[in-house]
Structures are given as C-alpha cells and as structure tokens.
Amino acid sequence: MTPIKNKNLKKLNGGFRNLLKLAAATLIFSVTALVQADINGFTIENAIIPQDEILSGGPSKDGIPALFDPKFISAKDAHYLDSSDRVIGIKFDGIAKAYPINILNWHEVVNDEINNTFFAVTFCPLCGTGMVFSSEVPGHQLTFGVSGLLYNSDVLLYDKNTNSLWSQILSKSVAGLMVNTNLELLPSVHTSWNDWLTNNPETLVLSRDTGYSRNYGRDPYSGYSTSKRLYFPAPSDSKEAKSFHPKETVFGLNINNTQRAYPFSELDKAGAKIHDNVGGVNVIINWNNASRSVTVTDELGNNIPGIQGFYFAWVAFYPNTSIFYF
C-alpha cells in the first residue's frame, strides 16, 4: 500500500473539516428556518411583518388565558372598583359594559357579545392599548386567544378558527390563513370607573369570577407606565421621539391612511374640545381632563374609534404620524 504523503493527508483533513463546517452550518440554517417558520405553535412563513421581529413574550400559547364566557355583575356589586380605577367601556343597543383594566391585565382578551353582536375586548399592558374589535370577518365569526407572541412590544392575538396571528394595533391578520384580513375597530373609551359609572349608571361590569385564580388586586406591571424602560424592543424613529416620554399617553387616529396622535400633555393645554381634520375628515376631539379620557366624533356626532396607548407604541407602528401640538 502506498503511504499517503503528509501534504495530501493535510488536504484530506482540511476537506473533512470543511465538510463538517458545511454540515454544521446547514443544520444551524435548517433549525433557524424551522424556528422562524414555526414559533409558539404558529406558522409565520407568510408573515407580512418581519419574521425575526416576532418575539416570544415568555408565556406559551394560551399561557395568558383569554376569557370566553365572561360573567357580569351590576355596578352596585362592583365593590372592588375604586373611583380612579381604569376601565374599557363600550355601549351599544342601549347596553353598557365595563371591563376593568385590573382584570384585563391578567387575561388581555375577553370574547363577548351584546344582543348577538360578537366582539373581542383586547388589552396590551406593554403598550397600554385597549381596543375592541368586531369578531365578524367575511366567512367567519372569530374567537380570539393570546398567542404569547409580540410584535413591536404589542400583543399578537390569534383566532381559534384558523390559528392565524393578528396584530392588535395594526388591526389585521399578519400571518396564517387569514393574513391581510382587517378587523373592524369599534368605538370604546378608556376611562376612570367614576366617569364611566356617572355616564352609565346601569352599566354591567366584568366579574372577577373568571374561573381562574388570579390576584386581581395586584398590578403585575406596577411601575411600568412611568418608567422609560421597555421590556421588549420597538422602533422609535419619529423626529418628535425625544419630545415625549415613551409612555406618554396619546390618542391616535388612523383615517384614510392618515395618522395623527394627540398627546395628553398637549390636550391638557388645549381644553375640552378640539376641532381638527384628519385624512380629509373633520373631527371633534372631546378631552376629559378629570378622567384622562378621549372620545372622537365627526361633525354629525358619529363616534370615530381610535387607539389610546403609549407614545412609543403608536410611533412604532405609525412612524409617519403627525403630532398634535397646542
């Protein structure tokens, strides 16, 4: 047998090492692709948002349990609510309902209905955004859960019908079978319990009898709303980014693809009623300083839904937004 010369042995060893490196790289790429295509049990290969910016918030799918058969009590029985406690309030067909933030902090989604009109009350503690959506989309009556995933620090919902992912602030499906399907945002108000009760004395209130053992008297996000720190990354490229605290509360309008944000610190200066034009629509901004809440109507008095939340979250999703200054 002819011995292999030293330099040939080195070549063979080098080639073997290169093959090992190539195999390792292929394995890493394959695993990365698998992770990117499937996270928390959701397929995101057709996502319309960057896949690498879809992040796990920590909990697994349904690790934060949405409510599907919510119970309600009368206002007089809601002894656990203080006058300054925050609620998401909705009213239609003459029926008013209040959803306390201290319950929504632990569940994030409440699937509910009024007179067979189905909707989902959603709340993202990381963005301060409480939004109510119709559960009806073409061909489906949806039921929503919490995916455990985030995009721009905002909760990604999922529907139990098709397992598609939905961005709360974008109000649309961002991955899955329902991708690019829009949700209808319904008018609601994020206000104090005292304000809601004063205007809606017959309101029903979401009960703490949820079927889950949670300390609804404890805020799991205590201190977060006053800190400049974010738990998860979100871009903030707006030229006004340094003008406001990232957790400054704003009310955002998105009309005819035109966005405008109303910081509460500016509304404090402007007074109770502001006339403005957004996307070619004349709007009236009704500001309640005492309850720190906003409602918006057009000139005919029709309610126009918007998004109340933290400044950083609004500009992360709408970097070209205009800002109301007084």
How far apart CA 223 and CA 93 sit, in angstroms, is 38
SS (H, E, C) the chain: CCCCCHHHHHHHHHHHHHHHHHHHHHHHHHHHHHHHHEECCEECCCCCCCHHHEEECCCCCCCCCCECCCCEEEHHHCCCCCCCCEEEEEEECCEEEEEEHHHHHHHCEEEEEECCEEEEEEEECCCCEEEEEECEECCEECCEEEEEEEECCEEEEEECCCCCEEECCCCEEEECCCCCCECCEECCEEEEHHHHHHHCCCCEEECCCCCCCCCCCCCCCCCHHHCCCCCCCCCCCCCCHHHCCCCCEEEEEEECCEEEEEEHHHHHHHCCEEEEEECCEEEEEEEECCCCEEEEEECCCCECCCEEEEHHHHHHHCCCCEECCC
How far apart CA 179 and CA 44 sit, in angstroms, is 10
Q: Phi, psi (5° rounding) for residue 185?
A: -80, 125
How far apart CA 289 and CA 90 sit, in angstroms, is 20
Task: Identify which of 187, 167, 178 has the alpha carbon closest to the alpha carbon of residue 316.
Answer: 167
Cβ burial, residue 83 (10 Å; 0-12/13-18/19+): exposed
Amino acid at 322: S
How far apart CA 248 and CA 314 sit, in angstroms, is 10
Predicted local distance difference test score (pLDDT) of residue 236: 73
Predicted local distance difference test score (pLDDT) of residue 243: 78
Q: Phi, psi (5° rounding) for residue 213?
A: -90, 100
In the numeric block, which tokens belong to residue 40?
């928390």
Predicted local distance difference test score (pLDDT) of residue 238: 52
How far apart CA 138 and CA 54 sit, in angstroms, is 26
How far apart CA 86 and CA 108 sit, in angstroms, is 14
Task: Identify which of 135, 164, 136, 134 has the alpha carbon closest to the alpha carbon of residue 61.
Answer: 164
- pTM (2 d.p.): 0.87
Q: Phi, psi (5° rounding) for residue 198?
A: -60, -40
Predicted local distance difference test score (pLDDT) of residue 28: 33
Q: pLDDT (tens digit, 0 to 9) for every residue of the chain, 326 residues total?
A: 444 444 443 443 444 444 344 334 333 333 333 344 689 999 999 999 999 999 999 999 999 999 999 999 999 999 999 999 999 999 999 999 999 999 999 999 999 999 999 999 999 999 999 999 999 999 999 999 999 999 999 999 999 999 999 999 999 999 999 999 999 999 999 999 999 999 999 999 999 999 999 999 999 999 999 999 999 999 975 555 557 999 999 999 999 999 999 999 999 999 899 999 999 999 999 999 999 999 999 999 999 999 999 999 999 999 999 999 99
Enumerate the domain spans of the chain: 51-206, 235-323
